Amino acid sequence: MSPAAESIAESILWGIRPVAEALNAGHRVSRVYFAREAKGAAIVQLKQLAKERKVRFDFVEVGQLGRMTGTREHQDVAARMAPLEYTRLEQLHALTEGQATTTLVALDQIQHSGNLGLILRTAAGAGVDAVLLPARGSRGISEEVIRASAGAAFRLRIVLCNNLAQDLERLKQDGFWIYGLDANGETELFETQWPARRVLVAGNETKGLRPLVRKRTDALVRIPMAGSLDSLNVAVALGIVLFDTVRQSR
C-alpha cells in the first residue's frame, strides 16, 4: 500500500485476530502485550508472528491489560500501533493499471462502526481494490471499526475524500462506471452487467445517498426483495452486490 503521509498518535488494538491481521499486513506495531496467563495455540502462533515481524512483546498482569484496553474481552492480547495509513486517490490509476477488473467501494456517510467494520471485511473478502470514505460526516477507521472488521481493514487500501462527489466524477473521467445502491433503483441487480472498472456506492444507514453523490452515479441498482420487505442493512446489501461482481468476473 502506498499511503499518504499522515502522523497520528499510536493507539491500542486488542483481540487475537485483529492483532494478527495487523502483524501479517506489515502494519506498524511498536509492541504487543500478552497476559501472563495467556495460553493456547492461537497465542503461541501470535508470539511467533511477532518474532518473525521483529516486534517486541511483553507480558503483563491481566488487570493491566484490562486497564490498557478498557475491556475484559481483550482475549489476553493487545498491541500498540500506528493508525491506518491512507492511499491518495490519484495513486489508484497506477496501482490498478493492467488489471482485468477493478472494483472500488465508496461509502457515503456510513455512521455505525459495526456496519463499517463488516463492510470492510466483506470488501476484503471480495477482493476490492480500495474503499473511499468521506473525510467528514462518516465514521472513521477507529480501533472499534478495525475490531468489527476482525482486522480485515488492514488488508485494504483506504482513500479519504474531501469531496466524495467530486472524486467520483474524477473516477468517471478515469474510465470508471459509478453504481449507487438504492432500494428504489431503476436497475435490478441480477440484470446488471458489470464493466471492468466499477465503483459501488453505498449511502447512509437511514438517509441513503446524498443528492450530489446520487447525481454522479451512472445507474442506481436495487436488490429484488420478496414480499413487503423494502430494504436490507447497508452492509448486507453491499455484500450481496459485491459478490455478484465477483461471480460475473469469474
Question: How would you write the chain as a 3-class SS string?
Answer: CCEECCCCCCEEEECHHHHHHHHHCCCCEEEEEEECCCCCHHHHHHHHHHHHCCCEEEEECHHHHHHHHCCCCCCCEEEEECCCCEECHHHHHHHHCCCCCEEEEEEECCCCHHHHHHHHHHHHHCCCCEEEEECCCCCCCCHHHHHHCCCHHHHCCEEEECCHHHHHHHHHHCCCEEEEECCCCCEEHHHCCCCCEEEEEEEECCCECCHHHHHCCCEEEECCCCCCCCCCCHHHHHHHHHHHHHHHHC
125 C-beta neighbours (distance < 10 Å), count = 14
> Quick check: 72 pLDDT over 60?
yes
What's the pLDDT band for 154 if we cut at 50, 70, 90?
very high
pLDDT, the chain, mean: 92
Bridge-based pairing of strands 187-188 and 130-134 is unpaired
What is the rounded average pLDDT of the residues 213-231? 93
At residue 9, the pLDDT reads 54
Mean pLDDT of 63-88: 92
Instruction: Tell me the pTM.
Output: 0.86
pLDDT at 6 over 80: no
pLDDT at 219 over 90: yes
pLDDT > 50? residue 5: no
CA–CA separation, 159 vs 121, rounded Å?
16
Mean pLDDT of 28-52: 95
**pLDDT value at residue 4:** 33
Arithmetic mean of pLDDT, 206-215: 96
All domains of the chain in start order, with CATH: 3-81 (3.30.1330.30), 86-249 (3.40.1280.10)
In this model, does residue 106 exceed pLDDT 70? yes
What's residue 201's pLDDT?
A: 98
Tell me: pLDDT of 180 over 60.
yes
> What is the rounded end-to-end Cα distance, in angstroms, of the chain?
25
Whether 138 shows a pLDDT value over 60: the answer reads yes
Percent of the chain with pLDDT over 90: 85
